[in-house]
Amino acid sequence: MSLETDLSCLRGLPLFRDMPASRLKLVALMGERLHFEAGATLISQKDRLDGVYVILEGEVEFSQPREDGEGRRFQKDAGSITGDVSLLSGQPFIGTVSARTPVLALRIPKDLFFELLHTVPEFSLAVCRDLAERVHRLASVLLREHETV
């Protein structure tokens, strides 16, 4: 991909839509583009992450095995970010993220991610909104499960 293609792709994602052009260019230049074949693991359970992954193309699946062997699975599509909760909390990753389809991801190094949070209010707000949406969905699922018990 060319720099212009990367910038266009990032600009189309909600997390980066309002980011100043100079910072967006920094993300495109400093981010590491990674390709994963379907079935490949992006993040393993209990990994200590040194960056976050922005899914540019394809679909990933977050899974967390349970003691009964069933486990939970959640799908994430292009435009989503993963690894941010682990990075922000300083805790090991609590599941596994694998590619459901061929995936193109941009790994944003930890230092750059935190710099953007500190210096680009539009990015900080976009990350907060993304986290809030995920917390809301999680709460909805938990409440529905609680109602059926």
Domain boundaries, the chain: 3-110+118-143
Spatial separation of the C-alpha atoms in residues 14 and 30, rounded to whole Å? 19
* pLDDT tens track for 104-127: 999 999 999 999 999 999 999 999
State the pLDDT at residue 74. 67
Label residue 33 by pLDDT band (50, 70, 90). very high
The CA–CA distances, whole Å, from 70 to 46, 48, 64, 100 equal 19, 25, 9, 18
| CATH of segment(s) 3-110+118-143 | 2.60.120.10
pTM, rounded to two decimals: 0.83
Surface-to-core class of residue 68, CB atoms within 10 Å of its CB (0-12 exposed, 13-18 middle, 19+ buried): exposed
- Whole-number mean pLDDT of the chain? 87
* pLDDT tens track for 36-81: 999 999 999 888 889 999 998 899 998 887 666 565 666 777 778 8
Label residue 4 by pLDDT band (50, 70, 90). confident
